[in-house]
């Protein structure tokens, strides 16, 4: 025991340092309880790279099924109920007295009193997708009080509970694992590859040099030569990393990554406190082009000039994380990666410029990301502001005739280059559009893999415009086809033992803009989940024979109606 005492005493400062580093914002520990009564196993965690956003909370597994009781994580009051077809689906928000709020998403149903309150307001508004704001006296809750049952609603691909902790002042989601939730994780992050970029040119005008990593003891090194060479004199480093927790095979995100050159820190990333107003900057933080082309999430340890998500970067050098290696010497690169439980992984290699730098080709149409840009041809035009793209691009355009459309197909740059917010695209048809079709025009879009459409509106002098949020190929067609409604029940059926009525609705060109179900001439609460529309039987459908009329309307006001007779 006497021999162990000095060792234990020596470990105390290191442990205290690790805890301090883990909880740099001094979030209260154990204030929030597990929102479920089963152990926490994560299907996803805060800061994960997702298409178009950082993951904003923890996805807690529910044993692969719906119906797990969900409990208030701390004292407070239910301040918001939101129902939507995508996103969080059925969601409850609780405001707590210590400056925090929690979100419980993808729920199935709420506890009876809350479910009755919701239904009352849905029928009063005659719409199921409501966003209700509640006062502190409506539904106060205690820590551990049941509020709902878990589900699989909204943009969810499997049963789970999405749980968030937010700052009530900023409304920013915070990293829930910094609050001492009971999560067991002693598995260190597992980096798979490093990527080297030439920061003297746009990230979208190059393909990074990606090198796989191998584990050597507790350190990861390049699978081949431990000296990586590049033509760049100012280099950027990206990493592809998986992390795991005990008891789950789902990949999760790391918490911090620190980049050192010759033992001097150059940049650090800390994934915490990312607001919904800035989460789309994931497309600047991660290498969007590589993800679109190779399905790899390369997370950049340098900051693009158009990336406004500055606060996740710490200890940044004067080159925004770029590494000056113009001396053609081999420089030691170290990357230290930690997860939410302070398990640490180290990546080591050497980086050297080959000295074979060649000038980049001249660009005929350079779009600078720090200034507004515009483009206009006789039949297509658009403008973007100085916050639309994240790095400079050499803009490319192509016009291809299309005999089946009202316009040519216009390639508006490459779909693998991200756009931060919407811009207005205008196209003038090169084929006369009959008068009766002018309010049925659709601006179709293709990224080279899939096609979809959005309604377009006629403006001055025959131009049609739409608000778009992607580069890619656009063209004009007419949409006169109403949605297709398929009933999952036979007409005249006895539905006495059924729990709900369901229709599958699809639209060829755009999407369903609005829908309505009327039972014996009165509105009933149909809900949408993807292309399924269902009504769960309630007290608005008594026993007996009924006539149901379901109507769906698309973006161009093409309407379809389906009539169903049934007995209950």
pLDDT at 21: 52
Look at residue 180 and give its three-state secondary structure: coil
pLDDT at 19: 40
Domains, the chain, ordered by start: 42-179 (2.70.70.10), 190-353 (2.70.50), 366-478 (2.60.220.30), 484-567 (2.60.40.10)
Contact 99, 29 (CB under 8 A): no
Phi/psi of residue 534, nearest 5 degrees: -140, 150
pLDDT at 361: 81
Phi/psi of residue 176, nearest 5 degrees: -60, -25
Contact 519, 537 (CB under 8 A): no
pLDDT at 12: 37
Q: Which of 46, 48, 147 is nearest to 90 (CA)?
A: 147
Between CA 161 and CA 407 the distance in angstroms is 46
pLDDT at 11: 40
pLDDT digits (tens, 9 = 90+) for 149-165: 999 999 999 999 999 99
pLDDT in tens, the chain (568 residues): 444 434 333 443 333 334 445 556 789 999 999 999 999 999 999 999 999 999 999 999 999 999 999 999 999 999 999 999 999 999 999 999 999 999 999 999 999 999 999 999 999 999 999 999 999 999 999 999 999 999 999 999 999 999 999 999 999 999 999 999 999 999 999 999 999 999 999 999 999 999 999 998 889 999 989 999 999 999 999 999 999 999 999 999 999 999 999 999 999 999 999 999 999 999 999 999 999 999 999 999 999 999 999 899 999 999 999 999 999 999 999 999 999 999 999 999 999 998 777 777 889 999 999 999 999 999 999 999 999 999 999 999 999 999 999 999 999 999 999 999 999 999 999 999 999 998 899 999 999 998 888 888 888 889 999 999 999 999 999 999 999 999 999 999 999 999 999 999 999 889 999 999 999 999 999 999 999 999 999 999 999 999 999 999 999 999 999 999 999 9
Record the pTM. 0.92
Contact 368, 393 (CB under 8 A): no
Dihedral over alpha carbons 314, 318, 319, 325 (to 10 degrees) = -110
pLDDT at 2: 42
Contact 266, 321 (CB under 8 A): yes
Q: SS3 for 59-119, per residue?
A: EEECCCCCCCEEECCCCEEEEEEEECCCCCCEEEEEECCCCEEEEEEEEEEECHHHHHHHH
Contact 335, 265 (CB under 8 A): no
pLDDT at 32: 97
Q: Which of 195, 193, 266, 261 is nearest to 230 (CA)?
A: 195
pLDDT at 443: 95
């Amino acid at each position: 025991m006497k021999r162990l005492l000095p060792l234990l005493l020596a470990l105390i400062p290191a442990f205290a340092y690790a805890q301090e580093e883990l909880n740099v914002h001094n979030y209260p520990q154990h204030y929030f309880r597990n929102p479920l009564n089963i152990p926490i196993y994560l299907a996803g965690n805060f800061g994960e790279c997702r298409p178009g956003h950082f993951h904003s909370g923890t996805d807690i597994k529910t044993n692969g099924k719906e119906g797990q009781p969900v409990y208030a994580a701390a004292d407070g009051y239910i301040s918001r109920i939101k129902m939507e077809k995508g996103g969080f689906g059925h969601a409850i928000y609780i405001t707590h007295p210590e400056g925090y709020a929690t979100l419980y998403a993808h729920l199935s149903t709420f506890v009876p009193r809350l479910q009755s309150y919701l239904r009352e307001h849905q029928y009063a508004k005659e719409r199921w997708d409501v966003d209700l704001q509640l006062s502190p006296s409506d539904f106060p809750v205690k820590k551990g009080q049941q509020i709902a049952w878990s589900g699989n609603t909204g943009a969810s691909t499997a049963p789970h509970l999405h749980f968030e902790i937010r700052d009530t002042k900023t409304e920013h989601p915070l990293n829930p694992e910094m609050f001492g939730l009971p999560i067991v994780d002693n598995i260190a992050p597992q980096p798979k590859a490093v990527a080297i970029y030439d920061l003297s040119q746009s990230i979208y005008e190059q393909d990074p040099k990606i090198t796989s990593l191998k584990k050597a003891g507790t350190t990861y090194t390049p699978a081949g030569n431990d000296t990586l060479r590049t033509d760049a004199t100012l280099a950027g480093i990206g990493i592809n990393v998986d992390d795991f927790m005990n008891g789950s095979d789902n990949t999760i995100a790391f918490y911090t990554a620190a980049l050192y050159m010759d033992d001097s820190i150059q940049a650090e990333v800390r994934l915490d406190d990312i607001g919904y107003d800035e989460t789309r900057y994931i497309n600047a933080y991660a290498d969007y082009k590589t993800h679109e082309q190779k399905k790899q999430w390369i997370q950049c340890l340098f900051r693009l000039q158009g990336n406004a998500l500055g606060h996740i970067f710490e200890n940044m050098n004067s080159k925004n994380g770029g590494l000056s290696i113009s001396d053609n010497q081999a420089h030691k690169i170290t990357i230290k990666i930690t997860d939410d439980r302070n398990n640490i992984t180290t990546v080591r290699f050497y980086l050297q410029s080959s000295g074979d730098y060649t000038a980049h080709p001249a660009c005929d149409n350079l779009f600078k990301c720090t200034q507004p840009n515009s483009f206009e041809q006789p039949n297509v035009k658009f403008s973007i502001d100085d916050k639309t793209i994240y790095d400079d691009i050499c803009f490319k355009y192509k016009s291809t005739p299309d005999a089946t459309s009202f316009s040519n197909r216009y390639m508006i740059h490459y779909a693998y280059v991200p756009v931060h917010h919407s811009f207005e695209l205008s196209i003038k048809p090169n084929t006369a559009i009959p008068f009766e079709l002018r309010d049925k025009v659709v601006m179709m879009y293709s990224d080279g893999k899939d096609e979809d459409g959005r309604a377009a509106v006629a403006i001055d002098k025959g131009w049609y415009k739409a608000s778009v949020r992607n580069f890619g190929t656009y063209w004009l067609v007419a949409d006169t086809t109403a949605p297709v409604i398929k009933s999952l029940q036979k007409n005249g059926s006895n539905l006495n033992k059924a729990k709900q009525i369901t229709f599958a609705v699809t639209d060829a060109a755009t999407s369903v803009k609005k829908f309505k179900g009327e039972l014996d001439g009165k509105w009933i609460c149909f809900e949408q989940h993807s292309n399924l529309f269902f009504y769960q039987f309630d007290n608005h459908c008594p026993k007996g024979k009924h006539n149901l009329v379901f109507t769906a309307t698309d973006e161009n006001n093409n309407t379809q109606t389906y009539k169903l007779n049934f007995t209950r």
